[in-house]
Structure 1
Amino acid sequence: MTETAHPSPAQGKTTKDGLRLIVHADDFGLSERVNDGVVDAHLNGILTSTSIMACAPAFGHAVTLAKATPSLDIGVHLTLIEERPLTDPAKVPSLVDETGHFHKHITVFAKRYFRGLINPEEVRLELDAQITRIREAGLEISHLDSHQHVHMLPGILKVAQDLGAKHGIAPMRLPRERVSPYMLSSPGGLSRIAQQLVLNHFCRRARQRFGPTTDRFAGFYYGGKLDTDALLRVVSSLPETGSCELMCHPGEDDPASEKLHWGYAWANELSALKNASVAAEIERRGIRLISYRNLTA
Structure 2
Amino acid sequence: MQIPPSVIVNADDIGLRPSVNKAILYSYQQGCINSTSFLTNMDCFDETIDFIHSNPAIINIGLHGNFAEGKPVSNFKYPEFLDADGNWNLSKTGKITQLLSKDIKAAFAAELNAQMEKALGAKINITHVDSHLHLHTLPSFYSMYIDLAKRHKLKLRLAQTYREGSYPKFLYRKFLNSKIKANHIAHSDYFETVDKFLSFGDQHPAGKTEIMVHPDFDADGKIFDHVDGTSMEYWVAYLRG
TM-score range, shorter chain: 0.7 to 0.9
The answer on 1:207 being equivalent to 2:207 is no
Tell me, yes or no, if the aligned pair for 1:215 and 1:244 is still in contact at 8 Å: yes
Distance 1:86 1:199, change over 3 A: farther
Per the alignment, residue 246 of structure 1 pairs with 211
SS of equivalent residue, structure 1 residue 239: coil
**Higher helix proportion:** 1
Distance 1:42 1:272 in 2: 16
- Give structure 2 stretches of 5+ with no counterpart: none
Tell me, yes or no, if the aligned pair for 1:81 and 1:103 is still in contact at 8 Å: yes
Per the alignment, residue 74 of structure 2 pairs with 87
Distance 1:199 1:31, change over 3 A: farther
Stretch of structure 1 that moved more, 119-128 or 234-243: 234-243
Q: Identical aligned pairs, as a percentage? A: 23
The answer on 1:62 being equivalent to 2:45 is no
Greater length-normalized contact order (CA 8 Å, ≥ 6 residues apart): 1
Per the alignment, residue 279 of structure 1 pairs with 239
Per the alignment, residue 146 of structure 1 pairs with 131
Tell me, yes or no, if the aligned pair for 1:35 and 1:61 is still in contact at 8 Å: no
CA RMSD of aligned residues (A): 2.9
Distance 2:41 2:138 in 1: 21
Distance 1:272 1:129, change over 3 A: same
**Higher strand proportion:** 2
- Residue 199 of structure 1 deviates from its aligned partner by 5.2
Amino acid at match of 2:39: M
SS of equivalent residue, structure 1 residue 279: helix
The answer on 1:162 being equivalent to 2:143 is no
Please report the TM-score for the alignment, with normalisation by the length of structure 1: 0.68
Tell me, yes or no, if the aligned pair for 1:143 and 1:171 is still in contact at 8 Å: yes
Pairwise mapping of residues 155-234 of structure 1 onto structure 2 (< 5 A)? 155-166=140-151, 168-179=152-163, 193-194=164-165, 200-210=170-180, 211-213=184-186, 214-219=188-193, 230=195, 233-234=198-199
Amino acid at match of 2:179: R
- Residue 203 of structure 1 deviates from its aligned partner by 2.3
- Residue 94 of structure 1 deviates from its aligned partner by 4.4
The answer on 1:77 being equivalent to 2:67 is no
- Give structure 1 stretches of 5+ with no counterpart: 11-19, 180-192, 220-225, 256-261, 282-297
Distance 1:231 1:252, change over 3 A: farther
Stretch of structure 1 that moved more, 234-243 or 37-46: 234-243
